[in-house]
Amino acid sequence: MAITETRQYREPFVEAAGLGVTNEGLRLLKQTLPTSTYTGSQFVAGQSQLEKDAATAAANLGQLTGTGAGTAEQAGSIASYMSPYQEQVIDASLAALDREQAKGLGALRNRAVQAGAFGSGRESALMGEYQASADVARAVQEAQLRQQGFADAVSRRQADLAAQQGLGTYQTQLGGAERQLDQADLAAQQEAAREAAFADYTRLGLIGPQLASVIGGFPAATQVQSTPPPSTTQQLLGLGIGAAGLGGAIKGLF
């Protein structure tokens, strides 16, 4: 009786391609993802120099608040905002006041002389009262001048504070914009590093489906193989060999 064998097979290059994809996928499954190459603080932009400078300046703005007089050497003190000509202005104003007071004293003496009271107790009392009033007027004048100078210094310091705050805000904005540009550059570098880390996976993901469709386009071929039945001579020869073998086996038993 004839024996018929049927099997399916693909072209060798198709089988090789499918095996290659499978082996590559198994290799990638065993690998550890190199996450350190595309994650971490190296991809986060720090403060720009402008932002650092603004923060340092802001930390020192406290010296421009309050009303402490400080010394002339202390940056931000009221004294450092006083006019360098303050004392000269005060001295000149008080000198002018002293001259006017001296004229008043001279006029009192002249009236005392004219009244025949020069050197009398009444003259001394009038002169003392005038001097006391003059001293008070002098002190008030000096206090007013110093208060005006102080108020001007406070105003200048407040204007300086506002200017520095505005400059700090501007620096912070510029620094923030600079940091955003740096961050965008780091983000691009991070994306490139991530793409490099996943290059094999991406390639397999892109090629695998395409190759599968190509392999599907090459259906398996069917191969049929038939073995013809043995001829009569072969059958008789087979029977003879079988009988001889059987006879030898029986003879061996006796």
Q: Which residues of 116-126 are buried (b: 16+ CB within 10 A; e: fewer)?
A: eeeeeeebeeb
Residue with tokens 């009038």: 126
State pTM to two decimals: 0.47
Do residues 157 and 70 lie in contact, with contact meaning Cβ atoms separated by under 8 Å?
no
Please give the angle made by the CA atoms of 188, 192 and 193, to the nearest 5 degrees. 115
- pLDDT at residue 253, rounded to an integer: 44
Closest by Cα among 70, 74, 125, 137 to 101: 137
Mean pLDDT by groups of 10 residues along the chain of 254 residues = 54 62 78 86 89 84 58 59 85 88 78 64 73 86 90 88 87 91 94 89 74 57 55 55 47 48
Q: Which helix (H) or strand (E) holds 224?
A: strand 221-227
Do residues 154 and 78 lie in contact, with contact meaning Cβ atoms separated by under 8 Å?
yes
- pLDDT at residue 8, rounded to an integer: 52
- pLDDT at residue 12, rounded to an integer: 58
Q: Which residues of 133-160 are buried (b: 16+ CB within 10 A; e: fewer)?
A: ebeeeeeeeeeebeeebbeebeeebeee
- Domain boundary assignment for the chain: 32-216
Distance CA 57, CA 61 (A): 7
- pLDDT at residue 229, rounded to an integer: 57
